Amino acid sequence: MSTSPERLAIAMTIAGHDPSGGAGIVADLRTFEELGIYGVAVATSITYQNSVGVNGRFDLFPDLVIGQLDALLQDRVPSAFKVGMLGRTDTVAAVAKILAEHHSRPVVLDPVLRSSSGEPLIEEGGLEAIERMLPVVTVVTPNKDELTELCGFEVFDVADVKAAALMLVKKGAKAVLVTGVKSKKGSKAESSDVLLVGDKYHVYSGPWVEDLSVHGTGCVLSSAIAAFLATGRDVRTSVSMARNFTLAAMKNSIKPGEGPPFASPRGGRQRRPKDYYSFVTPSPGV
């Protein structure tokens, strides 16, 4: 017997396509699936990339993005949205306009500006358009570099991050989660994530891992937050559960190519982990 549509929690990702599956809509859908949420995906850009880096991208025209979005929304409004790479400035504005019409549903925004290997993933002027989108956003999840670009000043420590996060709340975001802030506790380096909800700060700290480069962590984190929000949990609970989920995805990362490893939404729950690695090139015709 099929589940009735009313009882099925649906999360929608609106983001770029990374054909290597490490980030973008593929990583988002894997995250939703792992968390028991039915995922639907609107592609905004086709990137040409592998685990080593990005060779190029073709940002879809806004009509193509809105066409996908409208078709899905005519059928069913999802319980939560995750927005990632948008590519074109006019796409940012068009998506923001539609999200404003569904303001009772939570929106998680990962303000993707660049790939982890440094290539731009939004056209010039996109940053300002993303800022204008903040009033429709429930949680925005910049890393330290994205925060610096969004607030216009360099952030170094937790105190700077708190001030910058407050600026984003003043611009309309209901909550801000900043990840990967390096700080010191005694002689040890720590990595802190700072969450600001309304006027309350929450700081999550753990050991700093040097040269930790895992592709797709921002995508997994933001889609996990959207998945938990889709089940009706509040922002603080959703962020806390999504952080744990993402840490497990990083700890159990997989390495499908020559570049850095990918966060694995399946985490330590791989059913038959050896299958990934025991694969031997099949002979032709087999």
24 lies in the binding site for ligand PLP (CB under 6 A) = yes
φ/ψ of 274, rounded to 5, equals -65, -25
Cα 104-26-134 angle, rounded to 5 deg:
35
Coil, strand, or helix at residue 212?
coil
Alpha-carbon distance of 150 to 261, in angstroms, equals 28
How big, in percent rounded to 5, are the helix, strand and coil portions of the chain?
40, 25, 35
Which of the ranges 15-23, 74-82, 171-179, 230-238 carries the binding residues for ligand PLP, by CB under 6 A?
15-23
242 lies in the binding site for ligand PLP (CB under 6 A) = no
Which amino acid would we find at residue 35?
L
14 lies in the binding site for ligand PLP (CB under 6 A) = no
Smallest distance from ligand PLP to CB 111, Å: 10
Taking CB under 6 A as the criterion, which residues in 39-68 touch ligand PLP? Answer: 47, 49, 54
Quick one: which of 9, 10, 12, 18 contacts ligand PLP (CB under 6 A)?
Answer: 18
215 lies in the binding site for ligand PLP (CB under 6 A) = yes
Closest residue to ligand PLP in the complex (CB): 16
Quick one: which of 31, 115, 192, 246 contacts ligand PLP (CB under 6 A)?
Answer: 115
23 lies in the binding site for ligand PLP (CB under 6 A) = yes
Quick one: which of 219, 224, 229, 242 contacts ligand PLP (CB under 6 A)?
Answer: 219
Quick one: which of 218, 259, 265, 267 contacts ligand PLP (CB under 6 A)?
Answer: 218
Cβ atoms within 10 Å, residue 249? 27
Smallest distance from ligand PLP to CB 217, Å: 5
Total of residues contacting ligand PLP (CB under 6 A): 19
Say if strands 38-49 and 54-59 run parallel, antiparallel, or are unpaired: antiparallel
Burial of 191 (0-12, 13-18, 19+ CB in 10 A): middle
Say if strands 175-185 and 139-140 run parallel, antiparallel, or are unpaired: parallel
- Could you tell me which residues are beta bridge partners of residue 191? 182, 206
Cβ atoms within 10 Å, residue 275? 9
126 vs 111, 134, 167, 221, CA distance in Å? 10, 13, 18, 22
Alpha-carbon distance of 59 to 18, in angstroms, equals 12
Taking CB under 6 A as the criterion, which residues in 118-137 touch ligand PLP? Answer: 121
Which amino acid would we find at residue 88?
R
84 lies in the binding site for ligand PLP (CB under 6 A) = yes
Quick one: which of 40, 65, 85, 107 contacts ligand PLP (CB under 6 A)?
Answer: 85
Tokens of 8: 């099925």
Smallest distance from ligand PLP to CB 87, Å: 9
Smallest distance from ligand PLP to CB 85, Å: 4
Quick one: which of 116, 138, 179, 223 contacts ligand PLP (CB under 6 A)?
Answer: 116
Tokens of 205: 């700290």
Smallest distance from ligand PLP to CB 272, Å: 26
Which residues are near ligand PLP by CB under 6 A?
15-16, 18, 23-24, 47, 49, 54, 84-85, 112, 115-116, 121, 215-219
